[in-house]
Structure 1
Amino acid sequence: MAIRNVVVSDLSGKPDAAAVTFGLGDTWYEVDLTPEEQKGLEDALESYLKVSRKAAVSPAAKKRLVPETTAEERDRIRAWGKENGYEFAERGRIPKTLQKAYDEAHGIDGRKQR
């Protein structure tokens, strides 16, 4: 059995579309367009494209998710980790494996991230 994925245009709903990515300001957009619609977008932007230059695009920085904990709770997690044979640095970020094990052992589910 074959499975066929068909990408349709976000504008017209016509098949055989492809994703087109473009940016404006600090925001990037993606839209599925047929070849004809993509040509129409390029034509609409032609006067701007003629006088513009390509910008160096830096990848978005990964957003670090840090569990919401107090200093006291972090001390308890470290103490629990030592008692249970976990190896980790005395300072700095608590390893995810230790955080997860502590949460599971203490019935903490869905800790908020900040």
Structure 2
Amino acid sequence: MTKLTFIAFDGATFEVEAENGSTVMENAIRNGVPGIEAECGGACACATCHVYVDEEWTDVVGQPEAMEEDMLDFAYEVQPNSRLSCQIRVRDELDGLVVRVPERQA
């Protein structure tokens, strides 16, 4: 299992054990992380699972693909480390990943 840490806008921390192959968004929903709405269910069609990947993890997580970049245009307060959590697949290399949830979703 891969450990993920979500930091809510209010500073609350949620540490979860995630199965490889699942998405960061699925694990947020499954564990009741506030602020991750995922209205489209992970289809990369709504930007309501927007997160900020901690700087030390951006290279490991990688850059968004074209479709995700287009959807990020609809997210609130996009930053260079913004990603849609539905597009980040959990894998061994992400053990310890830290993401922050923005103040509000699109």
Sort the TM-score into its range (normalised by shorter chain). Answer: under 0.3
Greater share of strand residues, 1 or 2? 2
Q: Normalising by the residue count of structure 1, what TM-score does the alignment of the two structures yield? A: 0.23
Which is helix-richer, 1 or 2?
1
User: Given the two structures, how large is their TM-score scaled by the length of structure 2?
Assistant: 0.24
Q: Which has the larger radius of gyration?
A: 1
Bigger RCO (CA 8 Å, 6+ sep): 2
